[in-house]
Structure 1
């Protein structure tokens, strides 16, 4: 019952995220067919007041808001629609979306140089179309530190929440974890709330009562259809700058893109002092495209044969990914199918979350097939060939076809984090992943937080409320020992007789997809998110963050798109 087969089954699932299965509904059409079209239908030359590069978590909210103010808005999204794809629109398809490694999939796999698997979105709605759905606001301290207007922040959150946020159910497993957190002293209990409050709470979700996903793409329903165009499968290769007058700042005036047939199109800004190009391509895409366009560390750009428009050594710096570690608890009792609903916001700088249900191994199968290709892209020097480690862990002619396993998972995520890394170009092709280093646990404060967080996880695992969902011999140490047996990442393992929580943190670190940085405020953009040193260009997305907001950033990234859209319109129409 407590075999490696079931454990690997679960480990493979957490390496891509948590999900539960709900019957798929029928395919849907886009709710705004008049303005969302394939880029193959785009004219060779286009003119707009705003060009938003990236129809993701921030970009959709931003573009919808700008269109409401009367401006002509163009959105260029390299992926397709989330609608009509049951793997995206229904929770049951969550693992299949991340397991899809085709060139047109909604999720693009990348492997950091740290040896940790990660994904970046390639679909309208961005990360909100492929994530686990948890929704919670940033703390009031975060809002103050960012210099945002609290009133406008709250209004912007509410604008998002009316369209895409729901209260999740609380069944047996999630309730037990909630009560276990309270027994472990993660107090007070704040009930259901979207606010970031110390203690234990139930957060929001972008999945409705039928398990149907509502993404940032739904926010485009707010748009004025006469003022917006969205072109899908439109890959931007370069932002264009004018630098004709000596001493004048380079000024962004257009972009060049290609459709899925490789046909070139040009998009230009209309004449006007307020018109801008706005990057909302995420923590990987925004710094990558700026470097491809000639803004970045001069030496790195020259090495790629890119003309230097602005030597910006801070571009691609400050990259961070919140480290996650987890334990899995096989249950002798049935558990509901649930994604993350409960969170413990601790005093030690860790967030404790939980999920439950039946987990699949399809993702691990795809990883075994794809890692050699990904390693070639990232230059990651793995210590053990992933396919060999998979074969050693799973005997049998077809180790990927095991029955579903009934279990729960408890994970901890480090707030912040303090550790930072960097991003570098690997080619001039925007379809290629850049080379990313996150430096997990480089700052010892992150490692201390991980240890303290896992100690709280231990208390929850051993708590009375979870006793009926835990086999008597399922101790924290036994769960840790088995976790080390399987290839959840490409990092070397250090199994010893006196295995410590510190080493467990380092060896079993995973992502929870909350990476950020690369175009940070004060280093690459100013307080208005304008790119420092050039005109008519902003970055509005998670690449501008120093820390991941709240326990999940998607709420704040969507809010930021709405917030800055309002700010930009106020400047454009001050009366």
Structure 2
């Protein structure tokens, strides 16, 4: 590296530190005053930038903030702002945003072809505005296998954690789950740590001690205000390509539409280092590539989309970690909690838990019941293909008639590592606001099903453990709890059991999502190791759509890290190029 480049990088680091200081990145829940965030209706018809990032989500926000320190950046987000929305910011309102089915909701519901009801984000900050908040890193083996620079990975995690990560307040119910996991043999006790280590640990959370959520949007506080423009309610319809006079297709801009339906075009400035970067998530990124003419030729032809590049792997390798849970009614009141403890088993199943009376509700909607509620589509009482709107409505109605004691308790859940089973994604329309068709093929691979069974067997040991005993009715067997969880909501109360079922069948019939779906733009198939789209110039994909496996137990920390990590690498490359001139 030349001395001039070294000075540039040194000065850039000073700018980052100054940005951190002057923008006051703290644990305050007050909405930051971002002068660079605007409604897309204010955008000019035509504009020019060094980098155009599609998707202001978990990866897009840290990526844009980083790049803004030595380039002009346009960040386009199809949703609105998370600030001022208590359904997003408050832990006590978890579930409310996910149950909001209005056209302006920060959560857009979709149902996979498997029948499992799911959600995708449409808000600045992405999935970090909707999730249960658990913050944990990927393991060193994952980092090594992907080929990332471990030192820069560590620095990037710290950069994220200084703004959004906190130690959760461990109370009685979560403590009982932790101690029950240890007694069940998920050892050692790793205490509080962000690291991914086999055994039982307390992880981080993006909710602070006051129950306020801190999202990827907060990472925009690192940005250079003079180098970034963030547009909300900006839906990108197409990536624009040069195909004449170039050796291969080259991205040179995007076309987007504002909330009033007005078209805008943003172009890349001339220069070899200018790029369009797609960070629209595991559904949005492959969908946008296809809509722009990059994907399986026959599929694009069926929608009369002009082919830019025949790339049959776009939309392939879709995965979603299946989740199964057991509800345990408690004779004692329990705290309201989201995910705080995780048991990382040696056989590839992760055990987590959530609790609380009227959990995730509000004065007007007291029965949202957080992560395991039919209001947000998490309906385990009928098999996936039977989760019709009528079944959801019936479950919600039955839940509303239950006495308060039925909601005194919590769920212990398991989800499988990986997973191994894969599916695919296809277009359903030419409208980028419509959901694509996606199939995950839950439990298609026998090893995934076996991991689910072993996870449930571990949960059984936790429920029967001495540390958890005071939170379980002593006359109820785990077999009864399984049947209550897999039957109509009226059976949440501990009074009788239904027909027995095998653990394998329980896994299949009660499978839900934990919103960790990924794939569709896999490294080595759609993008290279630098996340550049193979066969196309000036175009990258940087988000969870590039993952073969979900990192760690929960991916949000690593997706935010990836945005920062790749932002640093891209800037270093840019600065070195400038230094040679």
- Normalising to structure 2: TM-score of the pair? 0.88
Q: What is the distance in 2 between the residues matched to 1:204 and 1:74?
A: 31
**How far 1:392 sits from its partner (Å)?**
7.7
Distance of aligned partners of 1:395 and 1:357 in 2 relative to their CA distance in 1, 3 Å threshold: closer
The equivalent residue for 1:480 is 482
The equivalent residue for 2:390 is 387
1:176-212 residue CA offsets vs partner (Å, 9 max, x unmatched):
1110000000000000000000000000000101001
The equivalent residue for 1:458 is 460
**How far 1:356 sits from its partner (Å)?**
1.1
Paired residues in the alignment total: 532
Q: What is the distance in 2 between the residues matched to 1:504 and 1:381?
A: 12
CA contact (8 A) 1:339 1:354 kept: yes
Q: What is the distance in 2 between the residues matched to 1:334 and 1:58?
A: 38
**How far 1:395 sits from its partner (Å)?**
5.4
The equivalent residue for 1:77 is 77
Distance of aligned partners of 1:275 and 1:404 in 2 relative to their CA distance in 1, 3 Å threshold: farther
Q: Secondary structure at the match of 1:256?
A: strand
Q: What is the distance in 2 between the residues matched to 1:383 and 1:453?
A: 25
Q: Secondary structure at the match of 1:47?
A: strand
Q: What is the distance in 2 between the residues matched to 1:281 and 1:131?
A: 17
CA contact (8 A) 1:386 1:487 kept: no
CA contact (8 A) 1:365 1:400 kept: no
1:440-459 equivalences under 5 Å are 440-459=442-461
1:382-421 equivalences under 5 Å are 382-383=385-386, 385-388=388-391, 390-391=393-394, 399=401, 405-421=407-423
The equivalent residue for 2:14 is none
CA contact (8 A) 1:137 1:556 kept: yes
RMSD of Structure 2 on Structure 1 (CA): 2.4
Q: What is the distance in 2 between the residues matched to 1:384 and 1:433?
A: 18
1:8-60 residue CA offsets vs partner (Å, 9 max, x unmatched):
xxxxxxxxxxxxxxxxx99954431x100000111111100000000000000
Distance of aligned partners of 1:400 and 1:422 in 2 relative to their CA distance in 1, 3 Å threshold: farther
**How far 1:409 sits from its partner (Å)?**
1.2
The equivalent residue for 1:296 is 295
Distance of aligned partners of 1:395 and 1:50 in 2 relative to their CA distance in 1, 3 Å threshold: closer
1:317-345 residue CA offsets vs partner (Å, 9 max, x unmatched):
00000000000111111111111100000
Q: What is the distance in 2 between the residues matched to 1:212 and 1:441?
A: 36
Distance of aligned partners of 1:329 and 1:233 in 2 relative to their CA distance in 1, 3 Å threshold: same
The equivalent residue for 2:60 is 59
1:103-142 equivalences under 5 Å are 103-142=103-142
Aligned partner of 1:428 among 412, 427, 430: 430
**How far 1:262 sits from its partner (Å)?**
0.5
CA contact (8 A) 2:287 2:427 kept: yes
Q: What is the distance in 2 between the residues matched to 1:118 and 1:452?
A: 25
Aligned partner of 1:539 among 541, 548, 557: 541
1:509-560 residue CA offsets vs partner (Å, 9 max, x unmatched):
0000000000000000000000001100000000000000000000000000
Distance of aligned partners of 1:264 and 1:253 in 2 relative to their CA distance in 1, 3 Å threshold: same
Q: What is the distance in 1 between the residues matched to 2:250 and 2:544?
A: 23
Unaligned ranges ≥5, structure 2: 1-26, 362-366, 491-496
1:368-389 residue CA offsets vs partner (Å, 9 max, x unmatched):
9x99xxxxxxxx9944644157
2:192 is the counterpart of 1:189: no
**How far 1:433 sits from its partner (Å)?**
0.3
CA contact (8 A) 1:283 1:516 kept: yes
